[in-house]
Amino acid sequence: MSASAPITPPVAPRIPHVTVLHGETRVDDYSWMRDRENPDVLAYLRAENDYTEAITKPTVALQDTLYQEMIGRLKEDDSRPPERRGDWWYYSRTEQGKAYPIFCRKRGTVDAPEEIYFDENAEAAGLEFYNLGGFDVSPDHRWLAILEDTNGYEDFVLRVRNLETGAWLDDRIENLGFGLAWASDNQTLFYLTTDDAKRADRVWRHALGDARSSDVEVYHDSDVRCNVGVERTRSGAYVCISSASFTTSELWLIDAYQPSAAPRVVAPRVTDVEYDVAHGGAWLYITTNRDGARNFKVMRAPVQAPSAWEEWMPHRPGVFVEDVDVFARYVVVQERRDGLRRLSVTALADGTPHDIAFPEAAYGVDLMRNPEFDPPALRFLYSSFVTPPTVVDYDLTARTRVIVKQDDVLGGYDPSQYAIERVMAPARDGTLVPVSMVYRTPFVRDGARPLLLYAYGSYGYTMEPTFASSRMSLVDRGVVFAIAHVRGGQEMGRAWYDDGKMQHKMNTFTDFIDCAEYLLGERYTSRERLSANGGSAGGLLMGAILNLRPDLWKAVVADVPFVDVINTMLDDSIPLTAQEWEQWGNPHEAEAYAYMRRYSPYDNVEAKAYPSLLVTSGINDSRVAFWEPAKWVARLRALKTDANPLLLKMHLGAGHGGASGRYERLKETAFRFAFILDQTAAAVKP
């Protein structure tokens, strides 16, 4: 990128902060940026934003073109398929020009008059940011409980609306975490509070109409590694409290019809044993890795004796059990084989299993809410790189499926013009790493196409090859979009995750580099056309590969990047730190520090050439503090020896997820895409 006159980048003051850890002297010139009350910090962030705006001014027209294309593919006036819950049909819809959904319902039949019971646009009016962290209608359909966030920091406010009158109750409880559950008496709510590090650690019981001072603490977990959650089972019989670290879990059940009853533990926690519970009839179905079941298996136990586990589905080394959904007459197991999710259905009457098959070589499928315990059909959402999101009702008895709705993609979208490819790239240790790709046809492997390689690679999160209409603005310009399913996710099973964390974390970074090398060697692209993108923990990946192999990439986009790994992991007052010692290690320990020191992006910036880099963040981010990317950019700017663009775009009114409305989010996407297209010299017209 260039402008008509030289533009001087901001220079952050260097104020050395010296510490000694495990015999190493550590100098942090930019630790002063942690003080958000310091006016110099805000001035610096604004200067970076001004610089980014000036440098990217030549792409403003392209940004607008991309944004208009993305809007042009959306059916702005649209609705989701109605979902039956008892006598009511619930759905949401969107209207042209409105950034947020409108929540509606009809009583009796889908042809009944519409009732708007929550208009998110009205609640967000006049606010720069608005997001819901909980949204739950009571079992008798009379009350709506929400958790709302108006600044992006994820400190939620509980509010309750009477759906018969539309009036908000006086019940208003602030500073809450994610998680909300109604008891089956329709008068009791369970919610979560957090500790000073924003770890959900307590469950509270609230009776409608009572003051917060009357609320009862139901559960507290003092273990700083564990996050607490709460939900009501699909059967409506129990409120389930979970407490889990990344390696150990424990669940408690409360009779949902007697919400003041004491919780009962399902099974006491055992170090390195994880389990989850779904209720069906007289049984609890338990997904667990107990007894060496690394890829998990399914047990069951009588509800009256929840610790008396017996095997229901044995461990299978080649099949990773992700989740179990229990209904009145069927159990649906979500499992992963050969990197792709499958749905396995078992009839409880006779134990007969069968699989639901899917047609494409690479795809994503997710069970939808399915709130009824004895539904006429199983509803799931299917898509691929070229197939738009498709809601399917699957008859569990007849084994037939009906497409309820497929998202319309406007603007002349034709899926036959694109191809999906899935390849296995060899990593340096011989491991084969899946790479999913989509591109416009015809395609010749001559190195001429730009390619954007994306990955996340942490926490066991699986990156599915699913559809995004906005992505077509890249693909239609010749860009190959690829996901590297690197170790650290769970695409290939639990071992895939374990081999990309703690003392094996380097595999995540080298896998990504090796995937890029493979794609270059196979002539899918060239170095002058290769870009990379990742966010949050995927932003850590971006920072690591920039230090390890800066020569590979023409451009990199790092969104809300976790890059100041050691300093953050040393400070357990920061949200998430203590829990994440089981992901990255605890740098207070010499061995963990030494390993982390090898890859921590901020600690490994050197005086050398780096590719073009765009970094995004939000000042209210509670998951990756804004100062991490700010410090990283300042250190890069001070040390790098190249003249490539280095840009920081700091949202001063949002948090980890960026803007909250659908239109503002598309503008942010258009900004990123314009940077990538400009840097990789891709065609600016589709």
Q: Tell me whether residue 545 is exposed, middle or buried, using C-beta atoms within 10 angstroms of its C-beta: 0 to 12, 13 to 18, 19 or more.
A: buried
Q: Contact at 8 Å (CB) between 587 and 570?
A: yes
Can you tell me the distance from the alpha carbon of 664 to that of 654, in angstroms, rounded to the nearest whole number?
Answer: 11
Amino acid 104 reads: C
Can you tell me the distance from the alpha carbon of 149 to that of 142, in angstroms, rounded to the nearest whole number?
Answer: 23
Can you tell me the distance from the alpha carbon of 444 to that of 10, in angstroms, rounded to the nearest whole number?
Answer: 43
Can you tell me the distance from the alpha carbon of 205 to that of 260, in angstroms, rounded to the nearest whole number?
Answer: 8
Q: Which of 141, 485, 651, 656 is catalytic?
A: 656
Q: Which of 344, 536, 617, 660 is catalytic?
A: 536
Q: Contact at 8 Å (CB) between 148 and 133?
A: yes
Can you tell me the distance from the alpha carbon of 470 to that of 673, in angstroms, rounded to the nearest whole number?
Answer: 10
Instruction: Name residue 168's beta-bridge partners.
Output: 161
Can you tell me the distance from the alpha carbon of 467 to that of 654, in angstroms, rounded to the nearest whole number?
Answer: 26
Q: Contact at 8 Å (CB) between 410 and 432?
A: no
CB atoms under 10 Å from CB of 613, counted, come to 25
Q: Which parts of 587-661 fold into alpha helices (H)?
A: 590-597, 627-639
CB atoms under 10 Å from CB of 262, counted, come to 10
Q: Is 621 a catalytic residue?
A: yes
Can you tell me the distance from the alpha carbon of 341 to that of 362, in angstroms, rounded to the nearest whole number?
Answer: 10
DSSP state of 112: S
Amino acid 403 reads: I
Q: Is 526 a catalytic residue?
A: no
Amino acid 284 reads: L
Distance of CA 270 to the CA centre of its chain: 28
DSSP state of 656: T
Q: Is 476 a catalytic residue?
A: no
Can you tell me the distance from the alpha carbon of 483 to that of 436, in angstroms, rounded to the nearest whole number?
Answer: 5
Which H/E stretch holds residue 638?
A: helix 627-639
Number of H helices, E strands in the chain: 12, 38
**The CA-based dihedral angle spanning residues 7, 10, 14, 19, taken in that order and rounded to the nearest 10 degrees:** -120
Single out the residue of 184, 270, 269 nearest to residue 231, CA to CA.
184
Tokens of 255: 């009779």
Q: Which of 138, 621, 622, 660 is catalytic?
A: 621
Tokens of 249: 């879990």
Q: Contact at 8 Å (CB) between 377 and 395?
A: yes
Strands of 564-654 (E only): list them: 612-618, 646-651
Q: Contact at 8 Å (CB) between 483 and 538?
A: no
Active site residues: 536, 621, 656
